[in-house]
Amino acid sequence: MIEIKNLTKTFDSITAVDNLSFQIRPGSVMGLVGSNGGGKSTLLRLLSGVYCPDSGEIIVDGEILYDNPSAKGKCFFVPDFPYYYNNSTIENTASLYRDLYPNWSENEYRRLCSIFPVSNTARIINMSKGMQRQAALILALSTCPRFLYLDEVFDGLDPVIRLLLKKLLIERVSERQMTVVIASHNLRELEDLCDRVCLMHRGRALLDRDIDSLRGMYRKVQVAFTETPESPDLFRGISVVNAWRNGNVFNLTIKGREEDFMPSLNALNPAYVSAMPLTLEEVFISEMGGYGYDVNNII
């Protein structure tokens, strides 16, 4: 169990994480999404003990994490740009982790080396970005962490490896109750993997929900009229987040459940109405728009 209590981290005048509090259950996969500079990577660095919180605390299985080797031994952090020495290979880097991580599994390491198509004796810095990422994942999973933190892990991975990674992660989550926190802008991938999503903007968690309930929060609705009613406030009483009109056809993003807004729409006598759930990306854009972070505002 990870408990985050009133966590704050500032860099000079910038507050990267602002009074954040939540818990992450064992055996869950949490997605961290949000704007650039929203505090996702900083949160991961705080969770892995790289940064010391300015205030608040992170408690891992009952132990304060920062500068605590015993608690850090249960965690593994794969940053967005992992560092490798010039002569580092998977094999010689494994020798370091083998000594330092108490749960290191040699069987797991051998198995992962055989699964991922990368050489464990080749110099890592000569590998492509995707292969370097795979090297990092082999090492990370071999430490059998109870808490795995992945920053932009899907970057550079081809679709097959992405699928393989997801499979491996799900396997470990279900079998060993491993907790995974993934920060990514690739919402499509997160959608498949996460059971919970935290949306971060300017250091705050705007939203922290199970992915199913998150999807249920919004509906994408298409409404067509034979003759559009002349009314300046056509959809009054309906929580329309976004609307786009093409002749007599309206594409709406509505916050709320279908049973709540459908009667109001049907009352307008539409020729056609259909509602479907939003993708995570669409939810992200809708939510961020609510905080003034949308394309129109930026442009």
Partner 1 sequence: MTSTTSFKDNLKNAFSIFKWELKNRRTSLIVYTILAAVFTSIALTICLSVSLTATDTENAVQGAALIFQLVSCFFVFGLTAVFTIIYTAGNYSYLHNKRKVDMYGSLPIGSRTLYLAKTVSAYLCSVVPALAFFGTISLISFCMGQPPVRETIEMYIHLLIGPVACISFYGLLAICCGTTAHSVISFIAVCVSYPIAAKLVHSVFRSFFYGLPPVLSGSSFLFNALNPIDAYRGNNALYWLLFTAVCVALGVLLAKKRRSERAQNSFAFFLPAHIVKLIVPFIIGMVLGVLFGSLNVFGNGMAGFAFGFLLGAVPACVILHLIYYKNFDVLLKSSIPFAVMSVLTIAVIGFFCADLLGYNSFIPDKNDIKSAGVVFFNDVSERDGKTAASFAKDCADDFSDSEKIGEVVEVHKKSLEGFTFSPREKFINVWTQTADETINSITDYHYSYCVSYRLTNGRAVTRFYSGMFTRFRENSEEMNYSDPEDSAQTIRSSPMYKRCYSGAARIAPDKVIHMIVSEASTAIEDSDESFVNVNAAVLDNDDKTAADVKKLMSAIQKDTEEFKVKDDSKKIATVNLRYRTALSDQFSFLRFLLDVSDMQNGDTCQIDVYDSDVNTVGALREIGVLDKNNRLNENGKYYHKAETDNGSKVTG
Footprint on this chain of partner 1 (rule: CB under 8 A) = 11, 45, 48-52, 59, 62-64, 67-73, 75-77, 79, 81-83, 85-88, 92, 95-96, 99-102
- Whether the CA torsion 112, 118, 124, 129 is positive or negative: it is negative
Of 129 and 245, the one with the shorter C-beta distance to partner 1 is 129
**Angle between helices 106-115 and 90-100 in degrees, nearest 10:** 150
In the complex, the smallest distance separating the C-beta of residue 208 from partner 1, rounded to whole angstroms, is 24
Of 45 and 172, the one with the shorter C-beta distance to partner 1 is 45
Of 34 and 49, the one with the shorter C-beta distance to partner 1 is 49
In the complex, the smallest distance separating the C-beta of residue 127 from partner 1, rounded to whole angstroms, is 16
In the complex, the smallest distance separating the C-beta of residue 235 from partner 1, rounded to whole angstroms, is 47
Beta bridge partners of 30: 181, 196
In the complex, the smallest distance separating the C-beta of residue 270 from partner 1, rounded to whole angstroms, is 54
Of 91 and 260, the one with the shorter C-beta distance to partner 1 is 91
Of 19 and 88, the one with the shorter C-beta distance to partner 1 is 88
